[in-house]
């Protein structure tokens, strides 16, 4: 009689489509809604070039078609050119998600030659003074515009990623104009998602309902007028939604992320969830992490779902919403996302909207944890591997 | 798009084989399209050199179908792909 290993009893999950490679948490900008965890990884913890190259090969073999090279600021890495080349050689469609402020003409040309397919550039606002204040980086906006022009001249497709909130949403028409001026083929209008740094700044960032309705009308009109010229991605923010979003297309269904220190995550924010032992690419293959780790299987499918998700006709449409939001707002990652009207805790969202109304505009900027042995994030960038 | 137009793939668009899922895909910025069999036949002919007329000639010969019908279908498909940014002329 033979013993069948437990894993052989369950079919392998469908293959992921995309890998988010968070190459570093270092970044010259200090956006108060940064999606990095509040506990930032240090440079000494970062994966080396050869490990990333192996991760890209494993991702392609697993079925990933594209990689998003992100951070922090991915170009803060000295080996960004080798990393882009490794991703491209693995056969992945290679997207650089960048603030643009660290990439001059020479570096951009090197990335193009290394096989970069697409650039996604963040902007903080359409108005330079406000943009620099939100990003916490003086002169940043002007450098972004120069970078965007260089991307266009290099023949690369450009997506402009505008993170929107109360303090810039009124300038959405100008952000759309900016996307057109810069030759972007695509504009992503991304409402802030409130966990981590953004949750700490929620009162200063949550838009009003009037702002939201105006923005939605602006997007609808622009989509009509600019059809064939500019693709606009836009999703209504959770705080004004009746149903949750299918976060990441469902936990462990289409997407995986690798953190700067090598942890394999179902979403880039999941690292902040307590009670998880996330697999690390230093110890296991990406396939092992994707198919067999407890972390990926915990919220996969529908069996884990509580009421009212269990048996809901939308269970396989929204997959219970966002685990990180459930934890951030309710302290329970296994709860129904409170963005759903059927959640018994749906009122926490409207209470937050009420609390933010009339609140101040000051930010808690993203900063590395104070440590006397280290300077700021850019000090680490210039010190290389000493950090 | 008319018969003399010369379509090419849009900026950043790549037609490639997805061996894991046994299909062809058009990869683009944050977008992926899975063309059906007919769209795939059309996309394979989009090379930035061939005109729509030449594409239709090729397809009409290979599929033994009336040229007029094929022209109507191909132009409609290319217009749709253009609106999505997959193709430009």
ipTM of the complex, rounded to two decimals: 0.82
Candidates A65, A66, A157; nearest CB to B11: A157
Q: How far is A68 from chain B, CA to nearest CA, in Å?
A: 9
Distance in Å, alpha carbon of A238 to nearest chain B alpha carbon: 21
Residue in the block written with tokens 């590395």:
A368
Q: What is the CATH architecture assignment of B12-84?
A: Orthogonal Bundle (1.10)
Q: Compare all CA atoms of chain B with the CA of A17 and give the residue at the minimum distance.
A: B32
State which residue of chain B sits closest to A93, comparing Cα positions.
B27
Instruction: Please give the pLDDT value at position A6.
Output: 43
Chain A, chain B: beta-carbon pairs less than 8 Å apart: 57
On chain B, the residues whose CB falls within 8 A of the CB of A187 are none
State whether A95 and B25 contact (CB < 8 Å).
no
For residue A156, give the nearest of B12, B21, B82 by CB distance.
Answer: B12
Record: contact B28-A63, CB cut-off 8 A:
no
Tell me how far apart the alpha carbons of residues A197 and A200 are, in angstroms, rounded to a whole number.
5
CATH node for A15-368:
3.20.20.70
Name the band, by pLDDT with cuts 50, 70 and 90, for residue B84: confident
Contact A185 B21 (CB under 8 A): no
Interface mutation target, options B5, B13, B15, B29, chain A, most CBs of A under 10 Å:
B29
Q: Which pLDDT does position A8 carry in this prediction?
A: 41
* Domain boundary assignment for chain B: 12-84
Which chain A residue lies closest to B86 (C-alpha atoms)?
A: A228
CB-based contact (8 Å) between A188 and chain B?
A: yes
pTM of the predicted structure, to 2 decimals: 0.89
* Token pair belonging to A176: 């759309």
Q: Please indicate if any CB of chain B lies within 8 Å of the CB of A208.
A: no
Walk along chain A (387 residues) in steps of 10 and give the mean pLDDT of each run.
Answer: 44 91 96 91 95 98 97 96 98 97 96 97 98 97 97 94 97 98 94 91 95 96 92 89 92 97 95 94 98 97 95 95 94 96 94 89 84 43 33
Instruction: Name every chain B residue with its beta carbon within 8 A of the beta carbon of A58.
Output: none
The sign one gets for the Cα dihedral A305, A255, A369, A204 is negative
Cβ within 8 Å of B, A 148-187:
155-157, 159, 185-186
Chain A residues inside the 8 Å CB shell of B31: 231
Q: Residue B29 and residue A186: Cβ atoms within 8 Å?
A: yes
pLDDT reported for residue A341: 95
Domain boundaries, chain A: 15-368
Tell me which chain A residue has its CA closest to the CA of residue B80. Answer: A228
Of B10, B27, B29, the CB nearest to A65: B27
């Amino acid at each position: 009689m033979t013993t069948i290993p437990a894993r052989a009893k369950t079919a392998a999950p469908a293959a992921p489509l995309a890998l988010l490679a968070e190459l570093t948490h270092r970044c010259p900008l200090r956006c108060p809604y940064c999606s990095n965890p509040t506990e930032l990884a240090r440079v000494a913890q970062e994966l080396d070039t050869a490990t990333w190259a192996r991760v890209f090969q494993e991702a392609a073999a697993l079925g990933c078609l594209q990689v998003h090279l992100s951070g922090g600021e991915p170009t803060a890495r000295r080996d960004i050119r080798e990393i882009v080349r490794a991703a491209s050689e693995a056969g992945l469609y290679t997207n650089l998600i960048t603030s643009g402020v660290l990439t001059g003409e020479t570096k951009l040309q090197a990335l193009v030659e290394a096989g970069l397919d697409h650039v996604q550039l963040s902007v903080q606002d359409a108005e330079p003074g406000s943009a620099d204040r939100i990003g916490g980086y003086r002169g940043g906006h002007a450098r972004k515009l120069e970078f965007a022009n260089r991307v266009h001249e290099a023949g690369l497709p450009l997506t402009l990623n505008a993170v929107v909130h109360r303090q810039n949403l009124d300038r959405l028409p100008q952000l759309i104009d900016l996307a057109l001026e810069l030759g972007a083929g695509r504009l992503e209008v991304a409402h802030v998602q409130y966990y981590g740094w953004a949750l700490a700044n929620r009162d200063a960032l949550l838009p009003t309902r009037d702002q939201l309705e105006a923005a939605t009308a602006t997007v609808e009109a622009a989509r009509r007028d600019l059809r064939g010229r500019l693709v606009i991605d836009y999703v209504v923010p959770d705080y004004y939604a009746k149903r949750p979003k299918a976060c990441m297309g469902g936990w462990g269904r289409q997407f995986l992320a690798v953190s700067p220190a090598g942890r394999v995550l179902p979403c880039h924010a999941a690292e902040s969830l307590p009670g998880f032992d996330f697999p690390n690419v230093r110890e296991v293959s990406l396939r092992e992490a994707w198919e067999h780790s407890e972390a990926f299987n915990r919220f996969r499918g529908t069996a884990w779902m509580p009421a009212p998700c269990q048996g809901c006709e939308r269970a396989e449409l929204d997959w219970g919403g966002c685990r990180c939001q459930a934890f951030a707002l309710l302290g329970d990652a296994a709860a129904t996302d409170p963005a759903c009207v059927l959640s018994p805790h749906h009122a926490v969202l409207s209470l937050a909207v009420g609390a933010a109304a009339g609140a101040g505009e000051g930010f808690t900027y993203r900063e590395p944890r104070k440590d006397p042995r280290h300077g700021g994030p850019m000090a680490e960038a210039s010190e290389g591997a000493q950090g | 798009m008319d018969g003399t137009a010369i379509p090419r793939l849009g900026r950043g668009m790549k037609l490639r084989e997805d061996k894991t899922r046994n299909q062809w895909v058009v990869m683009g910025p944050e977008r992926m399209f899975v063309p059906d069999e007919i769209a795939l036949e059309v996309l394979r002919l989009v090379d930035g050199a061939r005109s729509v007329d030449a594409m239709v000639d090729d397809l009409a010969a290979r599929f033994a179908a009336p040229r007029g019908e094929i022209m109507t279908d191909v132009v409609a498909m290319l217009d749709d792909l253009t609106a999505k940014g997959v193709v430009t002329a």
